[in-house]
Structure 1
Amino acid sequence: MFKTSTFLIKISNSEYWPMWVLYVPVFIQHFWLSLKAKSLFFFLKTNPGIDGFILSDSKFKTLQLVPDDYLPKTISVPKDSVYDDISRKLKNKEISYPIVLKPDIGYRGLLVSKIDDEAELRLRLEKLPIDYIIQEYVDYPVEIGVFYYRFPNSKKGVIPSVTLKDFLSLTGDGKKTFQQLVYNNPRAYLQKEKLSRTFENEWDKVVPQGKVLLLEAIGNHNRGTKFLNGNHLIDSQLVKVFDDLCAAMPEFYYGRFDIRTRSVEDLRQGKRFKILEVNGVGAEPTHIYDPGYKLTDGWKDMLHIWKVTYKIAMQNKEKGEVFPKYAEAKRRWNLYRDYKRVAF
């Protein structure tokens, strides 16, 4: 019953609890920091180079801050685009299938999809009510999230969080059907409705012994990916890689890089990795979603990170940045609210 009860799976694992549980202490802290900053919206100046609200950064515009050597080939797809224009952009950028289609302003992996051919892309484009981006599919085997921040008055930064991503997969035993394997895996069971559609032809077939099936190619927690605490990988060598990278990103001081690389060692050497996304002030230190990580430790990490946003914003203010007034903050929030209504 435990394995096939969505409620029991979620209630017994804090990684699945509602977001507000994680953020209650942060909300309280935020009001205290706002009094000190004399602004509710100080966080909007943590990264002056990014224009958005907490979760409304344009992925395409933010990626433009990143040096080209670390970027996958990417194009912008405005909501009114016609297929011929998109096809031309793909050809000019030399982007071939498979590709990844994702909302330009996303939310926890929703509406992100791996597209394998032109027919599938045409079908998906018929349903796009918002701006999207298309990226080449980076097939490096390791996906990792690195949270980095640097105070504007310092040349060296800090990495407080590294997350290794374990993609949702199943291994056959030569006896159970695909469906039975899903029902025996609580993480896969939470994705059963989507998996039953995606793997319709395999659903009732026995999976051969030792055969590993990758169930999800998108490394997002909401899609079944297990987030693992990789903070043991943090050292001066890894910090230097991101010091050098972020020094080339104008007015960027704080955020999480979602990366694909050939190996962790390659990343530590600053080679053979691609940055899929840069998440700004709304980013989380995702190691806290490790199934074995204590909620109380997650609260401590979130409180620390949000205090860092305050300190960075205050240093930027000393350098001449002006905290947004209510009208400007409301404008940014309304844009995101309206976008989310259409998108999700």
Structure 2
Amino acid sequence: MKLFIHKLTHWEYWPFKIVYIPIYFLWLYYAMKARTIFFFNACNPTMKNGGFINDSKREIYGLIPQQFYPKTEFVHQKIALEKVKSLLDQSKIQLPLIAKPDIGLRGSAVKKIDTIDDLFEYHSKANFDYLLQDLIPYENEIGIFYVRYPNETKGRITGIVGKEHLIVTGDGKSTMEALIKQNPRHELQLDNLKKEYQDQLNDVLLPNEKRNLVPYGNHCRGAKFIDLSHCITPELTTVIDDMCQQINGFYFGRMDLMYHSWEDLEKGINFSVVELNGAASEPTHIYDPKHSIFFAWKELARHIKYMFEISQLNHQKGIPYLNHKDGMMEYRIHQNHFNIITNF
């Protein structure tokens, strides 16, 4: 009951379909103006479906200059188990590493892999193609929303979200499970954590000992999102714009970055792109617990307007709204992928 009340009184946990009810009407308005619901396809011309549905992380990484993201290896779901080890050796990706679906869905099936046995277990369960990726050595993580109109020479940052990972701090007497239960945000993840850590949750951490139980900043996996949009500076904008200008056909979306320090980030050093998302990107700074649902609706509306206007300008340059594949077929594929991922 305690967790139910917590979810009910914190809109950030409300179902996606509920939160987006007003946005559906705005989407319909823009669809009528564009005369197609698929106007998002023209937003980022080099991304499949503009980066809205069924987009491959491998293909998106291929658009980003190599120096901006960690070593990454694609693994087909049907390859033999021994071939996985061979791919890992050839790629020179070191353990521990991150495994994640090539076509992802809000952080599902993203997992830290510590040993070869962990990797073999992941592969045996994976009914989807996935990526192996070097574990990024920086502790801090943020999401930066970037917008550039096709007729502009410079882009802008429209929002920044900070991410606090699911970390517990020991007191010398409480088990990790007891520490998790002290925070409703963490306790909501307890069932998943029990599957992953099993008996380890009975361990007692030393006083002030910290344990990062989910080493990536995903809201659905217990991370707390904090609005850092006030930290937008000309220096940071220049760094992000310079990078994004090197990503062919990218105009609208959110990139998740890990970095060493804010000072280094503003200098353009010691940071790495975790992921780059296109037309489906949310301005995730809205999920800061201090923000109301009305603030969220305002920000969502603002960013959908950016996407529509960018799509319009690209369409005027000859970019089609609808690609050669049928849009509804793409949607059905996406729904099937959802079923596979959630059963992982």
Shorter-chain-normalised TM-score: which range? over 0.9
Pairwise CA distance, 1:205: 4.7
Instruction: Give the aligned partner of residue 9 of structure 1.
Output: 6
Instruction: Give the aligned partner of residue 144 of structure 1.
Output: 142
Instruction: Give the aligned partner of residue 48 of structure 2.
Output: 51
Query: Which secondary structure state, in structure 1, belongs to the residue aligned with residue 30 of structure 2?
Result: helix
Per-residue Cα deviation, 1:269-299 (whole angstroms, up to 9, x for no partner): 1111111111110011111111111211110
Query: Normalized against structure 2, the TM-score is what?
Result: 0.94
RMSD of aligned Cα (Å) = 1.8
Shifted more, 312-321 versus 215-224: the winner is: 215-224
Q: Structure 2 CA distance, aligned partners of 1:119 and 1:326? A: 42
Per-residue Cα deviation, 1:33-65 (whole angstroms, up to 9, x for no partner): 111112211111101110136232111101111
Query: Which secondary structure state, in structure 2, belongs to the residue aligned with residue 201 of structure 1?
Result: helix
Instruction: Give the aligned partner of residue 289 of structure 2.
Output: 291
Instruction: Give the aligned partner of residue 180 of structure 1.
Output: 178
Percent identity of paired positions between Structure 1 and Structure 2 = 34
Structure 1 residue corresponding to 2:17, chosen from 1, 17, 20? 20
Shifted more, 328-337 versus 263-272: the winner is: 328-337
Query: Which secondary structure state, in structure 2, belongs to the residue aligned with residue 275 of structure 1?
Result: strand
- The residue type equivalent to 1:305 in the other structure is H
User: Relative to 1, partners in 2 of residues 1:326 and 1:13: Cα closer, same or farther, differing over 3 Å?
Assistant: farther
Query: Where in structure 2 are the equivalents of 1:206-225 lying within 5 Å?
Result: 206-225=204-223
Instruction: Verify the 8 A CA contact 1:167 1:214 in the aligned structure 2.
Output: yes
Q: Structure 2 CA distance, aligned partners of 1:107 and 1:317? A: 28
Query: Which secondary structure state, in structure 2, belongs to the residue aligned with residue 203 of structure 1?
Result: helix
Structure 2 residue corresponding to 1:343, chosen from 321, 341, 344? 341
Pairwise CA distance, 1:175: 3.8
Query: Where in structure 2 are the equivalents of 1:192-341 lying within 5 Å?
Result: 192-324=190-322, 328-341=326-339
Instruction: Verify the 8 A CA contact 1:166 1:225 in the aligned structure 2.
Output: yes
- The residue type equivalent to 1:213 in the other structure is R
User: Relative to 1, partners in 2 of residues 1:85 and 1:206: Cα closer, same or farther, differing over 3 Å?
Assistant: closer
Q: Structure 1 CA distance, aligned partners of 2:167 and 2:220? A: 14
Instruction: Verify the 8 A CA contact 1:45 1:323 in the aligned structure 2.
Output: yes
Instruction: Give the aligned partner of residue 82 of structure 1.
Output: 80
User: Relative to 1, partners in 2 of residues 1:116 and 1:205: Cα closer, same or farther, differing over 3 Å?
Assistant: closer
Give unpaired runs (5+ residues) of structure 1: none
Pairwise CA distance, 1:324: 0.8
Query: Where in structure 2 are the equivalents of 1:26-65 lying within 5 Å?
Result: 26-52=23-49, 54-65=52-63
Q: Structure 2 CA distance, aligned partners of 1:131 and 1:340? A: 13
User: Relative to 1, partners in 2 of residues 1:325 and 1:245: Cα closer, same or farther, differing over 3 Å?
Assistant: closer
Structure 2 residue corresponding to 1:100, chosen from 89, 98, 115? 98
Instruction: Verify the 8 A CA contact 2:168 2:179 in the aligned structure 1.
Output: yes
Give unpaired runs (5+ residues) of structure 2: none
Query: Which secondary structure state, in structure 2, belongs to the residue aligned with residue 87 of structure 1?
Result: helix
Instruction: Verify the 8 A CA contact 1:55 1:107 in the aligned structure 2.
Output: no
Alignment: residue pair count: 341
Query: Normalized against structure 1, the TM-score is what?
Result: 0.94
Q: Structure 2 CA distance, aligned partners of 1:121 and 1:179? A: 25
Instruction: Verify the 8 A CA contact 1:25 1:303 in the aligned structure 2.
Output: no
Pairwise CA distance, 1:343: 3.0
Instruction: Verify the 8 A CA contact 2:145 2:159 in the aligned structure 1.
Output: yes
- The residue type equivalent to 1:18 in the other structure is P
Q: Structure 1 CA distance, aligned partners of 2:84 and 2:205? A: 39
Instruction: Verify the 8 A CA contact 1:108 1:220 in the aligned structure 2.
Output: yes
- The residue type equivalent to 2:11 in the other structure is S
Q: Structure 1 CA distance, aligned partners of 2:19 and 2:307? A: 17
Q: Structure 2 CA distance, aligned partners of 1:299 and 1:272? A: 34
Query: Which secondary structure state, in structure 2, belongs to the residue aligned with residue 303 of structure 1?
Result: helix
